[in-house]
Amino acid sequence: MPACRCPPDRCPPDRCPPAGARLTGARLTGARLTGARLTGARLTGARLTGARLTGARLTGARLTGARLTGARLTGARLTGARLTGARLTGARLTGARLTGARLTGARLTGARLTGARLTGARLTGARLTGARLTGARLTGARLTGARLTGARLTGARLTGARLTGARLTGARLTGARLTGARLTGARLTGTRLTGTRLAGVRLAGARLVGTRLAAGHRDRIHRSAQATRSSASTGLVT
């Protein structure tokens, strides 16, 4: 976004907000903020429903409890942003950068996160039912207790991710990378795991009824389950 050229007394706040701006509780429903520079902005509790934030720079922004339902955040930079409890239902986050972002308890039902970068993001208890995460990067992400029922994670990178107690019923993980991921106690009923990389995955106590896997993985998981019952194994798939 080019530098603001508006007169100081006529600059509309929904078009040219400065970096580090304090917009706590602001009402910006439907605002056009494409390419806006909002690095470090304070938007706690702000209403941004349907806002256009394509390519916006929100690195380190505080968006705790913000309402971003249906917002357009394609290619937005949200590295290290705080989105705890934010409402992002149906939001468009394709290709967005959310590395290290805090999304604990956030609502992302039906959100589009195809190709998004979520490495090391905190998504504990987040609601991602029906979300599109095809090709997303979730390496080392924390998804403990997250709801991913029906989510599309085809080709996603989840190496070392923490999915303890997560709900993945009916999720599509075909071709995903789950090497070293923690799925202890997770619900994987009807989940599609064909072609998924599962080396080193921890599945103790996980529910895998009706899950679609390659034959080799089924055999390993069966052996792992037997070891768990007989010797309190960690459920590690080798």
Q: Half-sphere exposure (CA, 13 Å, Cβ side) for 218?
A: 9
Mean pLDDT value of segment 75-89? 98
The superfamily (CATH) of domain 118-238 is: E3 ubiquitin-protein ligase SopA (2.160.20.80)
pLDDT at 94 over 60: yes
pLDDT at 166 over 70: yes
Q: In the numeric block, which tokens belong to residue 238?
A: 């080798």
Mean pLDDT value of segment 15-43? 87
pTM for this predicted structure: 0.84
Q: In the numeric block, which tokens belong to residue 37?
A: 């520079």
% of the chain with per-residue pLDDT over 70:
81
Q: Domain limits of the chain?
A: 118-238
Is the Cβ–Cβ distance between 16 and 6 less than 8 Å?
yes
Q: What is the DSSP letter of 4?
A: P
Is the Cβ–Cβ distance between 191 and 212 less than 8 Å?
yes
Q: For the chain, give percent helix, strand, coil, nearest 5.
A: 5, 15, 75
Per-residue pLDDT reduced to its tens digit, 205-237: 999 888 887 666 666 665 555 555 443 334 444
**How far is CA 98 from each of CA 131, 133, 163, 167, 224, rounded to the nearest angstrom?**
15, 13, 18, 22, 34
Q: Return all residues near 51 (Cβ < 8 A) that are at least 6 apart.
A: 28, 29, 30, 31, 32, 33, 68, 71, 72
